[in-house]
Amino acid sequence: MSTPREPGAPGTGPGASTGSGPATPDAPFEETPWRRLDPRTLLVHCGWMAAPFGSLALTALATGGRISIEAWITLAALTASFAVLTTLGLIRWARTDFRITVPRGGEGAGGGASPTFDVRSGLLTRRLRSVPLHRIRTVDLTATPVHRVLGVTVLRAGTAGSGDGSSELSLEALAVPEAERLRTELLAYADAEAVANDPVVARISWRWLRYAPLTFWVIGGVFVVAGGAYRALDGIGIEAWKLGFVQRAFTEFGARALWLTIPAALLVILALGSVGAVVLYVENWWSYCLEWTDSRTLRVRRGLLTTRAVTIERARLRGVVLREPLLLRAGGGALVRAVAGGLGNREENRKRSGLLPPAPRAEALRVAGGTLRSPFPGSAAPAALTPHPRVALRRRRVRGLLFVVLPGTAVLAGLGAAFTPVLLHCAWIYALITTALSLWLARDAYRNLGHGLDGPYLVARSGTFSRDTVALQRDAIAAWTFSTSPFTRRAGLVTLTAAVAAGEDGYRIPDLPAADAPGFATTAAPGILDEFLVHPGPAPVPGQRAR
């Protein structure tokens, strides 16, 4: 976060430490030397050259060493880009430094000054970013395979109010021992009281690998890889559809009985997806450990090729989410995410908030409780929460029939009437299957609806493709949003959203009774809606009867 310096603030005035020159005797801060990034930063910035040079090498192999004039022009452009970027990287490295300033006589000296983390950068316009250490909430060490080969890592320090990533301090790249020392320094001002019980909340158990194929990547990962391979081939001028083995595969597929080839193709996709999901699980969660480093700092370490170590200050932890995707829930598994501030924007929050990989639900409940330092409020069965009115079930049934059953049936029936009666049979088969499936999913989604209060936590559960149970600190709720549509107003329902400065910024409770929603919101977070719920009427006129 860019913090403007005021007269007398740390780093300004006659006693400011600028990295050169002696400090005046009345300087409130110790003269702290500026530190540089590791010189191997330059090599990290050259890693992007691997993909284009690899494409040229593949092109040369595919064409027998014959490289077109366009390829030579591309090579010349890459060489020029390499020279320019290397020069810019050298200047950036030379012009970026950092330090931790400490008040003379320790923390709190110098008229209440506190230690700060300072980062200077910029070529033409010099920028000094200074953040008090007590505002730093998370410290993330991330190392890609290139970083690991070079023995460096990227340090990102998240501060209060850095939800959009604009306030994040990032240093790329530091030597691993230096990064570890810097992280210790940045977090040294948290409460150092030792944890009385075992600080380790969870470690990896490779028996959890059986849950890897029950995630999205078992099918979606195959198409993601196929799409990436297609783009890579297209980038080097190879049209995948014109390759001989691809054309033969499609010819053979269409020449055989589809009732055999389609299930066989699905089995191949599932097999490849399962292997890929297991590999991805191992890469993401290798050496996983969730632990309290002290009474106020939670740390998650994981990763095989790309390592990640995320620290979350307890003061910024607003709750946890127990997530149960449909397939994982069918297998008795779940995963856990943190609701915490300072984890960056939505994409960074998705990467950093994971506290537990897909694991048994009992383990997920235990980890969620260990994170909150109390039993997880969402461990109760869905029936233990306040149910929602049955009109919510009707809405889900209608949505399934209107948006899933009806369009597909109409398209197949129309094509069947226009081309072949076979599609007419497909239409009624599709209608039967999707109607049964939609009604079942609607029933499941309705059963999963629930909300309630459990001590200091608001608990909300919803979803069928991913049943999410969020336990949110009630005092963290900053605002309420009431959302309706013409259909929900007619049904007497409202969607209540609790806004918090953490996690996904808002957590929904769908399809609450409109008459009960204000009362529940007021009970959950008193004081927010008071001015809207109290409407004093006009003073009565003497002699007029009140209505």
Which comes out higher in pLDDT, residue 542 or 182? 182
Q: What is the pLDDT of residue 198?
A: 56
The DSSP bridge pattern shows strands 307-313 and 136-143 to be antiparallel
Which comes out higher in pLDDT, residue 356 or 135? 356
> Is the N-terminal amide bond of 173 cis, ω within 30° of 0?
yes
**Can you name the residues that pair with 294 across neighbouring β-strands?**
297
Q: What is the pLDDT of residue 284?
A: 92
All residues at 6 or more sequence positions from 462 whose CB lies less than 8 Å from its CB, including other chains: 445, 448, 449, 450, 468, 508, 509, 510
Distances from the Cα of 249 to the Cα of 30, 94, 152, angstroms: 72, 55, 45
Least confident of 39-53, 79-93, 440-454, 497-511: 39-53
Q: What is the pLDDT of residue 209?
A: 92
Q: What is the pLDDT of residue 459?
A: 94
For residues 321, 322, 324 and 325, what is the CA-based torsion angle, rounded to 10 degrees?
20
Q: What is the pLDDT of residue 471?
A: 94
Encode pLDDT of 137-182 as tens digits: 678 888 888 888 888 888 888 765 544 455 578 888 788 888 888 8
Distance CA 292, CA 214 (A): 29
Which comes out higher in pLDDT, residue 477 or 135? 477
The helix/strand/coil state of 310 is: strand
| 8 A C-beta contact, residue 345 and residue 506 | no
Distance CA 169, CA 105 (A): 27
All residues at 6 or more sequence positions from 474 whose CB lies less than 8 Å from its CB, including other chains: 453, 456, 457, 458, 524, 525
Distance CA 102, CA 120 (A): 17
- In what order do the strands lie in the sheet containing 97-101? 35-36, 97-101, 116-121, 127-132
The DSSP bridge pattern shows strands 116-121 and 289-294 to be unpaired
In this structure, what DSSP letter does residue 192 have? -
Q: What is the pLDDT of residue 69?
A: 73
Q: What is the pLDDT of residue 493?
A: 95
Distance CA 272, CA 217 (A): 10
pLDDT confidence bin for 339, thresholds 50/70/90? very high
CB count, 10 Å around CB of 131?
22
**Residue 288, both tokens:** 């996983």
Q: What is the pLDDT of residue 377?
A: 82
**Residue 285, both tokens:** 């969660």
Encode pLDDT of 423-464 as tens digits: 888 899 999 999 999 999 999 999 999 999 988 999 999 999
Q: What is the pLDDT of residue 477?
A: 94
Residue 427, exposed/middle/buried by CB under 10 A (0-12, 13-18, 19+)?
buried
Q: What is the mean pLDDT of the chain?
A: 79
pLDDT confidence bin for 11, thresholds 50/70/90? very low
Encode pLDDT of 49-72 as tens digits: 666 666 666 666 666 666 667 667
Distances from the Cα of 459 to the Cα of 346, 449, 516, angstroms: 22, 11, 16
Encode pLDDT of 366-425 as tens digits: 999 889 988 888 665 555 789 999 999 999 999 999 999 999 999 999 998 988 888 888
All residues at 6 or more sequence positions from 369 whose CB lies less than 8 Å from its CB, including other chains: 375, 376, 379
The helix/strand/coil state of 5 is: coil
Q: What is the pLDDT of residue 486?
A: 92
**Residue 299, both tokens:** 């740390």
Encode pLDDT of 280-321 as tens digits: 999 999 999 999 887 788 999 999 988 899 988 888 899 999
pLDDT confidence bin for 125, thresholds 50/70/90? confident
Q: What is the pLDDT of residue 29?
A: 53
Residues in the chain: 547
Q: What is the pLDDT of residue 497?
A: 95
Return the beta strands (E) in 238-375 as ranges.
289-294, 297-302, 307-313, 317-325, 333-340, 354-360
Which comes out higher in pLDDT, residue 349 or 436? 436
**Can you name the residues that pair with 153 across neighbouring β-strands?**
174
Distance CA 365, CA 104 (A): 46
Distance CA 157, CA 139 (A): 4
Question: What are the extents of the domains in the chain?
Answer: 35-186, 208-285, 289-387+449-531, 391-448
pLDDT confidence bin for 15, thresholds 50/70/90? very low
Residue 2 has pLDDT above 60, yes or no: no
**Residue 260, both tokens:** 């055999």
pLDDT confidence bin for 488, thresholds 50/70/90? very high
Residue 503 has phi, psi (to 5 degrees) of 60, -125
Which helix (H) or strand (E) element contains residue 499? strand 493-500
Q: What is the pLDDT of residue 25?
A: 41
The helix/strand/coil state of 443 is: helix
CB count, 10 Å around CB of 402?
11
Q: What is the pLDDT of residue 105?
A: 54
Distance CA 58, CA 77 (A): 18
Residue 7 has pLDDT above 50, yes or no: no
